[in-house]
């Protein structure tokens, strides 16, 4: 994304309330760093030093710095743009510094990353990108660090971005590594995404998917059915989804009391697939087994309220359970929120529920547009650890169903080891006790518009949504019914 700040990013301005003032750098003169850059740098440091989440921290940092309008937009682009292409920028820094980026002092490395992003992917004036990034490095680690950063960034600024990309691509040891460097995805994720697309006979869509992961998603709203109406540009698929014509969604969310909320369209669709796969009988019992942070729970609660069903929710992490309770405040329905291991809760409630949502903990590879830092944090070993949890949750959830009841198994990941493999394993274990419904047909019935959902080569009934194809997070859905 190319962004040009309205003043070119070079002109110092008076400090607004809460903005950064000139600091005495260790070993250097007073410097003035534009508040937008300082905010972005603060988030980068927290993400890389403390495993903070940029989507949670950045709004607070913008508020603290008193940034709005164009300044907030610049800080947002600098933050997400830098995090999104971190691995590629590290390769550029390694080449420009003649030393491995991993050996550079972390505060200096983050300042370099911020500067390289501005030089390679924005229209910010190069002198502003260099000078203020150098100032951040000097403030963090002293005059020597400032001199080093100055040398590296001026070397990057001498050549065109395309020349640097070609130079970096030439260092790749395989085609997949080259793709990963060019598209800013770790190699193991590139391969996992290709395999998931190939399972649908669509491996040729890989470039489009990687490109979509590097584009900031549009904000999508959900109007809780029966409690609010979509008020804006209707989304292509979700019957409760819409987009604002302009502006910040937060005032509308507050004004609605939470009956209107920000929620990805894919998340809306998979929740509605559970509540609308078949008519609801009054008195049905539903369970959201892995409910945090509560967006799907609120949607299910509104659906339960409209049709006379009862809903329970469960979330293992107390802080996330608090978010679930807050999300449910907008729905006038009594919902008990448990704080248990979902496997234990389901095992203790055999044959109790008519519908269960298992929105399983996963790698989150389907939401890399929203959480760009996740691609650099996750490791292949995470998949195996999560698969054991996912299998246990799905197995126990099926046991907690009444005969004829349905589980929606959902992940925000297209990785086959977290999706089709989990469903296949549990089906093999349970044999004739469970049958898989046609999730693609259900989604098409729920959707407002035609959904391109190819049949996987395995012939299984699950459905996979995609950022490049549907404009949603890459949500996976399987619907499993316990036989009567």
Instruction: Give the chain as a 3 state SS string.
Output: CCCCCCCCCCCCCCCCCCCCCCEECCCCCEECCCHHHHHHHHHHHHHHHHCCCHHHHHHHHHHHHCCCHHHHHHHHHHHHHHHHCHHHHHHHHHHHHCCCHHHCCHHHHHHHHHHHHHHHHCCCCHHHHHHHHHHHHHHHHCHHHHHHHHHHHHHHHHCCHHHHHHHHHCCCCCHHHHHHHHHCCCHHHHHHHHHHHHCCCCHHHHHHHHHHHCCCCCCCEEECCCCCCCCCEECCCCCCEEECCCCCCHHHHHHHCCCEEECCHHHHHHHHHHHHCCCCCCCCEEEECCCCCCHHHHHHHHHHHHHCCEEEEECCCHHHHHHHHHHHCCCCCCCEEECCCHHHHHHCCCCCEEEEEEECCCCCHHHCCCCCCHHHHCCHHHHHHHHHHHHHHHHHHHHCEEEEEEEEEEECCCCCCCCHHHHHHHHHHHHHHEEECCHHHHHHHHCCCCCCCCCCCCCCCCEECCHHHHCCCCCEEEEEEECC
CA separation for the pair 396, 346 (Å, rounded): 6
pLDDT of residue 232: 84
Q: Which residues lie across from 287 on neighbouring strands? A: 312, 356
Q: Is 311 left (phi over 0), alpha (psi -120 to 50) or beta?
A: beta
Q: Which residue has the tokens 């903005």?
A: 19
341: exposed, middle or buried (C-beta count within 10 Å: 0-12, 13-18, 19+)?
Answer: middle
Token reading at 302: 């509104």
What is the spatial distance between Cα 403 and Cα 468, in angstroms, rounded to a whole number?
Answer: 38
Q: HSE (CB half, 13 Å, CA atoms) of 330?
A: 29
Q: Calculate the alpha carbon distances from 122 to 36, 67, 217 in Å.
A: 14, 20, 18
User: Active-site positions?
Assistant: 412
Distance CA 369, CA 303 (A): 28
Distances from the Cα of 431 to the Cαs of 44, 109, 426, 427, in angstroms?
49, 53, 8, 6
Helices 206-213 + 187-198 axis angle, to 10: 130
Q: Are 96 and 155 in contact (CB under 8 A)?
A: yes
Token output for 15: 């400090």
Task: Report angle CA 421, 423, 426 to the nearest 5 degrees.
Answer: 105
- The per-residue pLDDT for 245 is 81
Looking at the whole model, is its pTM more than 0.85?
A: yes
Whether the Cβ atoms of residue 342 and residue 316 lie closer than 8 Å to each other = yes
Q: Residue 31: its pLDDT value, please?
A: 60
Q: Is 235 left (phi over 0), alpha (psi -120 to 50) or beta?
A: beta
Tens digit of pLDDT per residue, the chain (484 long)?
333 333 333 333 333 323 333 344 444 444 689 999 999 999 999 999 999 999 999 999 999 999 989 999 999 999 999 999 999 999 999 999 999 999 999 999 999 999 999 999 999 999 999 999 999 999 999 999 999 999 999 999 999 999 999 999 999 999 999 999 999 999 999 999 999 999 999 999 999 999 999 999 999 999 999 999 998 899 999 999 999 887 789 899 999 999 999 999 999 999 999 999 999 999 999 999 999 999 999 999 999 999 999 999 999 999 999 999 999 999 999 999 999 999 999 999 999 999 999 999 999 999 999 999 999 999 999 999 999 999 999 999 999 999 999 999 999 999 999 999 999 999 999 999 999 999 999 999 999 999 999 999 999 999 999 999 999 999 999 999 999 8
Distance CA 92, CA 88 (A): 6
Q: Are 473 and 359 in contact (CB under 8 A)?
A: no
Query: Listing from the earlier edge strand, what are the strands of the sheet with 241-243?
Result: 233-234, 241-243, 221-223, 260-262
When computed from its CA atoms, the radius of gyration of the chain, rounded to whole angstroms, is 24
Q: Which two tokens stand for residue 253?
A: 């969310």
**Residue keyed to tokens 């850059």:** 37
């Amino acid at each position: 994304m190319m962004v040009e700040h309205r003043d070119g990013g070079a002109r110092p301005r008076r400090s607004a309330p809460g903005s950064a003032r000139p600091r005495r750098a260790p070993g250097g003169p007073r410097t003035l760093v534009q508040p937008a850059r300082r905010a972005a740098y603060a988030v980068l440091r927290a993400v890389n030093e403390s495993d903070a989440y940029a989507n949670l921290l950045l709004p607070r940092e913008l508020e603290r710095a008193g940034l709005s309008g164009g300044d907030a937009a610049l800080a947002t682009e600098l933050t997400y743009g830098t995090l999104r292409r971190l691995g590629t920028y590290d390769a550029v820094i390694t080449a420009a510094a003649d030393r491995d980026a991993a050996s550079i002092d972390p505060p200096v490395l983050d300042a370099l990353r911020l500067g390289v992003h501005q030089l390679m992917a924005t229209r910010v004036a190069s002198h502003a990108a260099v000078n203020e990034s150098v100032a951040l490095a000097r403030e963090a680690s002293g005059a020597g660090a400032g001199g080093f950063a100055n040398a590296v960034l001026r070397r990057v600024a001498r050549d065109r971005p395309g020349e640097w990309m070609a130079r970096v691509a030439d260092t790749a040891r395989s085609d997949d590594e080259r793709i990963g460097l060019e598209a800013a995805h770790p190699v193991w994720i590139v391969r996992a995404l290709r395999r998931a697309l190939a399972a649908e006979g669509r491996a040729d869509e890989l470039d489009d998917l990687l490109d979509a992961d590097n584009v900031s998603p549009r904000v999508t709203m959900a109007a809780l059915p029966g409690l609010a109406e979509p008020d804006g540009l209707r989304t292509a698929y979700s019957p409760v989804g819409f987009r604002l014509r302009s502006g910040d969604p937060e005032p509308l969310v507050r004004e609605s009391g939470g009956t209107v909320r920000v929620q990805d369209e894919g998340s809306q669709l998979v929740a509605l697939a559970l509540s609308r796969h078949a008519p609801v009988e009054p008195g049905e019992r539903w369970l959201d087994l892995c409910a945090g942070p509560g967006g799907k729970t609120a949607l299910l609660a509104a659906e339960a309220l409209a049709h006379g069903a009862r809903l329970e929710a469960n979330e293992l992490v107390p802080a996330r359970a608090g978010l679930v309770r807050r999300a449910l405040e907008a729905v006038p329905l009594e919902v008990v929120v448990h704080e248990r291991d979902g496997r234990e809760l389901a095992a203790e409630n055999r044959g109790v529920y008519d519908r269960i949502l298992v929105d399983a903990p996963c790698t989150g590879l389907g939401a890399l547009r929203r959480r760009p830092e996740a691609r650099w944090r996750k490791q292949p070993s995470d998949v195996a650890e999560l698969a054991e949890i996912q299998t246990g949750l799905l197995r126990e959830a099926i046991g907690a169903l009444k005969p004829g009841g349905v589980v929606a198994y959902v992940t925000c990941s297209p990785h086959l080891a977290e999706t089709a493999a989990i469903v296949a394993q549990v089906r093999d274990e349970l044999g004739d006790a469970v049958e898989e419904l046609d999730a693609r047909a259900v989604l098409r019935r729920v959707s407002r518009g035609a959904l391109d959902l190819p049949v996987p080569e395995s012939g299984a009934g699950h459905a996979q949504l995609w950022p490049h194809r549907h404009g949603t997070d890459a949500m996976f859905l399987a619907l499993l019914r316990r036989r009567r």
